[in-house]
């Protein structure tokens, strides 16, 4: 898809507030006071290990197995691991223009795998719909589903929050225990996939739990409308085709790489087209009811 050509169904869903904005770590690492990405954080943490463990951890990182690398580092550093996470991700940098453009889309459900506090700080600087603030949801349990039939804004932090470093999902062991083995986690993601259009921004789709749930969803509901992911054109065409076929995930691309330099113009174009569509909807509604 060309960067200024947005799908009409996506624009209509934005106007109807039926889009879930799924924000990945790409936006946190693109802020004025950048938080480290997974790879950089793990490489830096690996330097604290003895030679053998450091070599194992770095090999896993090079192979893209960040979760198992986390386990290696965490098992050796023990209590220092929690201190390291808090020191690195406990910062609350200023939001970027990327966050500002996404907020202009005025959707009530934000989902993130990030455990920093950038999103809730910025989204609650002001109010949603002139009324309520966005409520952060940091634990997925039986009480988590009321938002589906509500009107208030919510920020769903699937991997926990830095405020409770012990509960963060960051290693393979934690993924197995808190994501793969959790019925609540699975049902929450499935509910969003079935009832909303999801727009992924700054998210690479390397999260194993999310990817697997999307593939199961696509296999079960092959005729449903697609979800959308914004990504740079450097991603291989074959990967985009795989996402479309196996995850019902359509691409919105921008020129360049993962430094997100060209993501901002695309988001500005999206917010502009959303605003045009919203005003047309209001005009049509008034015309039909007067």
Residues, the chain: 290
Mean pLDDT across the stretch 76-88? 83
Sorted by where each begins, the domain ranges of the chain are 8-33+95-288, 38-89
Q: Which CATH number fits domain 8-33+95-288: 3.30.360.10, 2.40.50.250, 3.40.50.1220, 3.90.1580.10?
A: 3.40.50.1220
Angle, CA of 190, 8 and 227, to the nearest 5°: 20
pLDDT tens, residue by residue, 112-171: 988 888 888 888 876 555 455 788 998 888 889 988 888 889 999 998 888 887 778 877
pLDDT confidence band for 32 (50 / 70 / 90): very low
pLDDT tens, residue by residue, 56-65: 999 998 988 8
CA 114 vs CA 82, 138, 229: distances in Å: 16, 11, 17
pLDDT confidence band for 19 (50 / 70 / 90): very high
Name, in order, each residue with C-beta under 8 angstroms of 8's C-beta and a sequence gap of 6 or more: none
Q: Is the pLDDT of residue 269 over 80?
A: yes
Burial of 242 (0-12, 13-18, 19+ CB in 10 A): middle
Q: What are phi and psi of 227, to 5 degrees?
A: -100, 175
Looking at mean pLDDT, say which of 94-98, 184-188, 207-211 comes out highest.
Answer: 184-188
Give the global pTM. Answer: 0.85
Show the 3-state SS of the chain.
CCCCCCCHHHHHHHHCCCEEEEECHHHHCCCCCCCCCHHHHHHHHHCCCCHHHHHHHHHHHHCCCHHHHHHHHHHHHCHHHHHHHHHHHCCCCCCCHHHHHHHHCCCCEEEECCCCCHHHHHHCCCCECCCECCEEECCCCCCCCHHHHCCCCEEEECCCCHHHHHHCCCCHHHHHHHHHCCHHHHHHHHHHHHHCEEEEECCCCCCHHHHHHHHHHHHHCCCCCCEEEEEECCCCHHHHHHHHHHHCEEEEEECCCCCCCCHHHHHHHHHHHHHHHHHHHHHHHHHHCC
CA atoms within 13 A on the CB side of 239: 13
Q: Is the pLDDT of residue 1 over 50?
A: no
């Amino acid at each position: 898809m060309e960067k200024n050509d947005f799908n009409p169904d996506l624009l209509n869903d934005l106007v109807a507030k039926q889009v879930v904005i799924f924000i990945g770590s790409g936006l946190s690492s693109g802020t004025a006071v950048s938080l480290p990405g997974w790879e950089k954080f793990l490489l830096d943490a690996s330097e604290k290990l003895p030679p053998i463990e450091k070599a194992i951890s770095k090999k896993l990182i090079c192979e893209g197995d960040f979760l198992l690398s986390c386990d290696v580092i965490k098992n050796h550093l023990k209590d220092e691991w929690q201190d390291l996470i808090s020191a690195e991700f406990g910062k609350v940098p200023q939001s970027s223009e990327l966050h500002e453009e996404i907020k202009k889309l005025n959707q009530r459900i934000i989902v993130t795998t990030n455990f920093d506090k950038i999103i809730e700080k910025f989204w609650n600087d002001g109010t949603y719909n002139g009324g309520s603030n966005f409520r952060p949801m940091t634990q997925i349990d039986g009480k988590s589903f009321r938002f589906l039939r509500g009107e208030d804004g919510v920020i769903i932090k699937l991997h926990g929050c830095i405020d409770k470093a012990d509960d963060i999902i960051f290693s393979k062991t934690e993924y197995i225990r808190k994501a793969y083995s959790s019925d609540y986690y699975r049902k929450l993601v499935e509910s969003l996939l079935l009832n909303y259009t999801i727009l992924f921004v700054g998210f690479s789709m390397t999260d194993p739990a999310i990817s697997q749930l999307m593939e199961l969803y696509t296999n079960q509901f092959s005729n449903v409308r697609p979800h959308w992911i914004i990504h740079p054109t450097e991603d291989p065409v074959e990967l985009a085709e795989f996402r479309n076929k196996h995850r019902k995930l359509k691409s919105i691309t921008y020129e360049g790489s993962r430094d997100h330099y060209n993501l901002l113009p695309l988001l500005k174009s999206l917010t502009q087209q959303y605003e045009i569509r919203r005003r047309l909807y209001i005009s049509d509604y008034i015309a039909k009811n007067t």
